[in-house]
A = this chain, B = another copy of it.
Amino acid sequence: MPKVTFEPYQVTADAYPYETILELAMRLGIHINASCGGLGACGKCKVILEKGEVQGEKVDGIYYKACTTVPLTDVVIRIPVESKYDRKALLRKDRVLAKAIERKESFPLYSPLNWASLSLKPPSLEDNMPDLSRVLLALKPFVGDNFKVELEFLRKLPHVLRAQAFRATFFWYEDPFTGYKLLFDLDKPEISPLGVAIDLGTTTLQLELVDLSTGEVLAQTSDYNPQISFGEDVISRIEFCKKKDGLKLLSERVKEKIHVLTEELLKQAGRSLSEVKLFSLAGNTVMTHLFLELEPRYLREHPYVPVAQFYPPLLAKEIGFSPYSAVFQFSPSVASYVGGDITAGVLASLIAAEEDLTLFIDLGTNGEIVVGNRDFLMCAACSAGPAFEGGGIKHGMRATSGAIEGVHIDPETFEPMILTIGKQRPKGICGSGIISLLAQLFKVGLIDRSGKFRRDIAHPRLRKGDEGYEYVLVFKEESALEHDIVFTEADIDNLMRAKGAMFAGYQILLESAGLSIFDLKRVFLAGTFGSYIDLEDAITIGLLPDLPRDRFFFLGNTSLQGAKKALLSKEKLLELNRIAQMMTHVELSGHPQYMDYYMAALFLPHTNEELFPSVKKS
């Protein structure tokens, strides 16, 4: 990896392969003006190559555009500066991400989906017992007495047996709670059944195809949840269900998509649909209700009652997945807004198996949090809203191409440095960009602790717009849109409420257990969002607690990981359900102290600065 030294800051670091000078500077916290997102269009990010070789576009004879220039050897790069300043002041802390870890554990593969390959003696006049009796006699050592035979199994039975000379593989699903077994399919003598783990999110669907014999992941895919067309968030989808056949429609759409994605997985892996015998789905309570066509309206009407917390395993055909002869199992919920994605997440994160007190945060369309260890688990849903996914933010957007994901503001010039996803002209700001922007505005002093813009600072980017004061992050000329991209005081208000709700949530949960923020040994960030958050920025605004940075871990899609464990192990499925039973749900809005904590959290980083020692210090 080539080393890059930035002058005049005398900061040296290794560049990643293909990393541009601009990206490296953003990562290191070095400011370079850049307003086109990394596309090379604005030409503002000019730097001087003092030593070494680069690949990039030369402009005005001596400059390179930082946004499109990649070092080929060790290089020295000088950033031209327009004024004198305290070098130190310009340097922000390195961008710090939570350490990505995979919480691996080994467990015996013993899927709730069982199978046995048998060679039966063909019938004769002396031994002409019914086909089913013949099969059950042979299966008795495996299946025992507590079972049921599916009608479809009986319908296939005589044909498959005779087509395969009475050799076949038999499949049954064992409900790990009751031990009751459902004998539902038979197939070729040699077959290695497949499972599909599904994370059914409000916004995205992620699937993995898994070999049930080996546990190996054979293929992965993801896509948007097609229900988005009928409402971005869970509330609007619940509303949509009040229309005639609305619920059915939402259910069908997501099932169709799961079918399409499963076919995609099978194509990737070169396997066939008939080999899929088990689906394991984890989704939040609303998503699971919609999937199963269970009435969702009482989830959001006082007193917020789900139809069910534990969902029975079902045959694919029972829910209209007729091409599959497979079973669907579901990750259990805890409450209306703490769903199967969280219980699966707790399973995957091993919190409930370890001693370390851990805060588990899933910051997606909503914010769910869990606090606990092997002795106790408490959880809550924070009404954070979708601000961290760009929702409710004037120019907020989801983390897709053209979204501003990284922001730095020059503390002297107040000029921004931005990076967009896919290095496209900026279209809006996504979650990680929003957090950084708020943190930066606070750090450079453009907003005060209450989140208000400083009216006394005159700057072309700070202005009074139609909706009050705002900061212009991208002027029209540089944006992909027909207008400026701005960040308003109303946006800041929304963010303050969202992060305040989260922080108050941590406090209530911890306090309910007689603990404080500083007792936390670990903070686990789940969901894709967690991988992009700049820890420093997130702590600066008070969204994350101010703990040593090495206590933060990014776990990835724990919902999917948990669903996969339940796919592969009866024990893990049982554990998943024990977790759901063990988790104490705290209804924050009903908690007597919640409002106080919440109000106190509506400052940057917090009313009580003692809670944020590192922010106070800086």
Contact = CB atoms under 8 A, between A and B. Distances in A.
Contacts of A587: 125, 128
Interface string A308-344: 1111101000110000000000000101100000000
A157 interface: yes
Contacts of A304: 125, 128
Given A125-B587, A180-B146, A154 B309 contact: no
Interface string A585-597: 0010010000000
A302 interface: yes
Given A125-B590, A180-B178, A302-B125, A157 B307 contact: yes
A129 interface: yes
Interface string A284-323: 0000000011110110001111111111101000110000
A324 to B, nearest CB: 16
Contacts of A126: 590
A84 B298 CA distance: 96
A148 B159 CA distance: 30
Q: Is the interface of A mostly helix, strand, loop or mixed?
A: loop
A303 B124 contact: yes
B158 A128 contact: no
Contacts of A14: none
A130 B180 contact: no
Most B CB atoms within 10 A — which of A132, A155, A590?
A: A132
Contacts of A123: 303, 305
B130 A306 contact: yes
Contacts of A155: 292-295
A264 interface: no
A133 interface: yes
A260 interface: no
Contact of A158 (B130, B298, B314): B298
Contact of A151 (B127, B177, B318): B318
A575 interface: no
A304 B131 CA distance: 10
Interface in A216-257: none
A147 interface: yes
Contacts of A269: none
Given A147-B178, A180-B180, A312-B148, A294 B154 contact: yes
Most buried by B among A178, A319, A333: A178
A145 interface: yes
A179 to B, nearest CB: 8
A123 B307 CA distance: 12
Interface string A114-149: 000000000111111111110000000000011111
A607 to B, nearest CB: 28
B178 A146 contact: yes
A102 to B, nearest CB: 32
B132 A309 contact: yes
Given A132-B309, A178-B146, A151 B295 contact: no
A162 B158 CA distance: 47
Nearest to A128: B303
Contacts of A127: 303
Contacts of A150: 312
Contact of A308 (B131, B292, B302, B319): B131
A122 to B, nearest CB: 9
A307 B178 contact: no
Contacts of A318: 151
Interface residues of A, number: 53
A175 interface: yes
Contacts of A303: 123-125, 127-128
Given A146-B178, A178-B180, A305-B131, A159 B125 contact: no
B130 A314 contact: no
A274 to B, nearest CB: 20
Interface string A150-174: 1100110111001000000000000
Nearest to A180: B180
B180 A148 contact: yes
Contacts of A306: 130-131
Contacts of A151: 292, 312, 314, 318-319
A114 B180 CA distance: 20
Nearest to A135: B308
A188 B587 CA distance: 33
Contact of A133 (B178, B295, B308, B311): B308
A130 B307 CA distance: 5
Contacts of A162: 298
Nearest to A177: B145
Contacts of A292: 151, 154-155
Nearest to A152: B318
A335 B335 CA distance: 52
Contacts of A307: 130-132, 154, 157-158
Contacts of A180: 146, 148, 178, 180
A22 to B, nearest CB: 51
Given A130-B307, A130-B308, A155-B292, 7 more contacts: A127-B303, A129-B305, A133-B308, A151-B312, A154-B311, A155-B293, A178-B180
3 closest A-B pairs (Cβ-Cβ)? Answer: A132-B308, A130-B306, A128-B303
7 contacts: A128-B305, A130-B306, A132-B308, A146-B146, A146-B178, A146-B180, A162-B298
